Amino acid sequence: MTEKSKNRFWGKTASRGNFDPKQKRVRNRQILKYCLCAFLTVDTLLGVFLVGLIFLHLPYFNLQQVDVVGNQRLSRAEVIEASEMEYGINLLTVDLSAVASRLRRHPWIRTSTVYRRFPGQLIVEIEERTPRAILAAEKLFYVDEQAEFFTRLLPGDPVNFPLFTGIGPEELKTSRSQIQEMIRGGLVLLDNLEKSGCGVDAAEVSQIRLTLDDGMSLHTKTGRIIVIGKGDFEQKMQRYGRLKKFLTQRGEWHNARIINLDFEDRAIVRSSDKALLQG
């Protein structure tokens, strides 16, 4: 063996001999620590998974009771049917937002909230729509307080509500927002009739006729037609009250059949065949 080879050999051996045993122990402890942490993490996840499976299959959490709050027109059974919930399902698997969404698809339900009450109870809170009027557009539709026509009338449904007429089914499809705005104005007008002191009782109105071009007119049970048009309802009804008082004093009010208030500063009053008053 040459001198150079001996030096390489002994040098390599010396470098190995100089390795610090303390560093080796530290490294081994770190490796052991990482392995232990990994084992505990996997063990914990497995334990949680197993516990979850146990809870999902425990009959203790199965749906046994559904309480419905806020229903007036709808029965409890109708609300439960709309929720598409089945008794016996595990409450932990119920998607509450999906149940609430299904409930809101029912035409009579405006808002809905669903929450759990363990171990086996589901609480359903709903707000029903309140019919405010009826819209006749070939078929009859209930209209709520927000002027939304939300469902058709069925045989036996109450009909003692203000009636809006004059709208065709095609107009209902193409001009829905405009019709809703007109109905909204009509409902406000009916609410303010008695307050305005104009001499028209809302109970006297048999129908409110709507046209997209000309606006609104009131038809009373006595056969009188009050043409109001679009906008300035309060001012026009005050003019109506003054006109009624004037014609009553002249003894001609009972002959007034058509009263057109759709002008800025005047009115036209007609009997069945001639004008009684202009101005």
Q: Quick one: pLDDT at residue 3?
A: 53
Q: Quick one: pLDDT at residue 161?
A: 95
Nearest 5°: phi and psi at 43? -65, -40
Is residue 122 within 8 Å of 116, Cβ to Cβ?
A: yes
Nearest to 149 by CA among 228, 93, 210, 102: 210
Q: Quick one: pLDDT at residue 47?
A: 46
Give the whole-angstrom CA distance, residue 198 versus residue 244. Answer: 8
Which of 23-37, 48-62, 92-106 has the largest mean confidence?
92-106
How large is the average pLDDT for residues 33-42? Answer: 58
Q: Quick one: pLDDT at residue 26?
A: 63
**Residues contacting residue 220 through CB under 8 Å, at least 6 positions apart:** 200, 204, 205, 206, 226
Q: What is the mean pLDDT of the chain?
A: 83
Cβ-count burial 258-277 (b if 16+ within 10 Å, e if not): bbbbbeeeebbbbeeeeebb
Q: Quick one: pLDDT at residue 225?
A: 95
pLDDT at position 239 over 80? yes
Helix, coil or strand: residue 73? coil
How large is the average pLDDT for residues 195-203? Answer: 83
Is residue 129 within 8 Å of 123, Cβ to Cβ?
A: no
For residue 190, what are its two tokens?
Answer: 């009916």
- Written in H, E and C, the secondary structure of 46-58 is HHHHHHHHHHHCC
- % helix / strand / coil in the chain, to the nearest 5? 45, 25, 30
**Residue 52 confidence class, pLDDT cut points 50, 70, 90:** very low
Nearest to 148 by CA among 177, 189, 111, 113: 177
Is residue 188 within 8 Å of 228, Cβ to Cβ?
A: no
Nearest to 74 by CA among 151, 180, 184: 151
Between these two residues, 26 and 222, which has the higher pLDDT value?
222
Angle ∠(111,114,118) on CA atoms, nearest 5: 165
Helix, coil or strand: residue 61? helix
**pLDDT (tens digit per residue) in 62-116:** 899 999 999 999 999 999 999 999 888 988 889 999 999 999 999 999 999 999 9
pLDDT at position 222 over 50? yes
pTM for the predicted model, two decimal places:
0.75
pLDDT at position 5 over 60? no
Between these two residues, 50 and 177, which has the higher pLDDT value?
177
